[in-house]
Amino acid sequence: MSSRHSPCFILRTVDYGERDVIVTLLGRDAGRFAALARSARTSRKRFGGALQPLRMVEAIYTPPSRGDLHTLQELDVSEDYPGLEDRLELLSAASYATELVRETWREGEDARAIFELLRQLYAFLPRCEGNLDILCLTHHFELSLLNLYGLAPAIAHCARCGASADTLPRARFARSGEGLLCEGCRHAGEAVGVVHPITLQLLLHLEDPRNPRPSAELEDALAQARRVIDTSVDSLVTRALPAREMLRSLVTI
């Protein structure tokens, strides 16, 4: 079978036997797939340092004649992101985003949008000046990923009737993860959480960075916004994500 080429990100590597490595990749054109890198642990000739995550690689691989495991023939780094691994805070944010994609994006799904989303995160993280920038960029990534799945919480309008957020006297978010609810659309007894107006403004910024970020002290607002986003993310993942816990222990404001 003829070889194929695709720009890829490495989502995970697992040692296999004494010489080989099984690599999980996200290809811009190929989508998510797993491939066997033969002798990758004993020879650096074909793969070199390209088996490391957090860089874009050009993968040459052969599809399987049976089963799901491709054969990886060659990897070359095609784009790296200077500074991304210089600070532990940046590394933890990039690792969490990679883990989130790995745990949610399935084989057979068109990966072009999520590939570009991950590429932009890797490229923009080194430009972050402080922890607040890192957290805002990471939450924007989460909301963008949720949007690709059709699971993003409604923020700018009521999730059910579409009433604009700026017309509502209070910002109530459904604890189901659906998003903002106006009083008329809230069902009797339905659990909601009321967020501060600054939190709503911050959520609007996280959803679309073209919206201004509040200039007030944001520690409490960020904690509220995180709970809103977590409700939706937790509906998507099926297990605890160690990289998310690491991020939250390292990156605080």
Show which of 26, 47, 79 is a domain's final residue: 79
Mean pLDDT to the nearest integer, 166-192: 96
Show which of 52, 79, 106 is a domain's final residue: 79
Same-domain pairing of 224 and 101: yes
Global pTM exceeds 0.85:
yes
pLDDT at 44: 74
Contact 156, 214 (CB under 8 A): no
**240: domain CATH number?**
1.20.1440.120
If we measure between CA atoms, which residue out of 4, 52, 47, 12 comes closest to residue 28?
4
CA distance readout (Å), 93 to 21, 90, 137, 251: 25, 5, 9, 9
Kindly report, residue by residue over 44-55, the tens digit of the pLDDT. 777 878 999 999
pLDDT at 242: 96
Show which of 15, 47, 79 is a domain's final residue: 79
pLDDT at 1: 64
CA distance readout (Å), 47 to 30, 157, 159, 184: 19, 49, 48, 59
**30: domain CATH number?**
2.40.50.140
Mean pLDDT to the nearest integer, 126-148: 98
pLDDT more than 70, % of the chain: 100
How many Å apart are CA 197 and CA 168, to the nearest integer?
Answer: 11
Kindly report, residue by residue over 226-250, the tens digit of the pLDDT. 999 999 999 999 899 999 999 999 9
Check pLDDT > 90 for residue 168. Answer: yes
Kindly report, residue by residue over 69-116, the tens digit of the pLDDT. 999 999 999 999 999 999 999 999 999 999 999 999 999 999 999 999
Mean pLDDT to the nearest integer, 17-23: 95
pLDDT more than 90, % of the chain: 93
Mean pLDDT to the nearest integer, 113-142: 98
3-state secondary structure of 240: coil
Check pLDDT > 70 for residue 62. Answer: yes
> What is the span of the domain harbouring residue 48?
4-79
Same-domain pairing of 244 and 155: yes
Mean pLDDT to the nearest integer, 160-175: 97
Hunting for tokens 């200039």 — which residue is that?
Answer: 215
Mean pLDDT to the nearest integer, 132-155: 98
Same-domain pairing of 99 and 58: no
Number of folded domains in the chain?
2
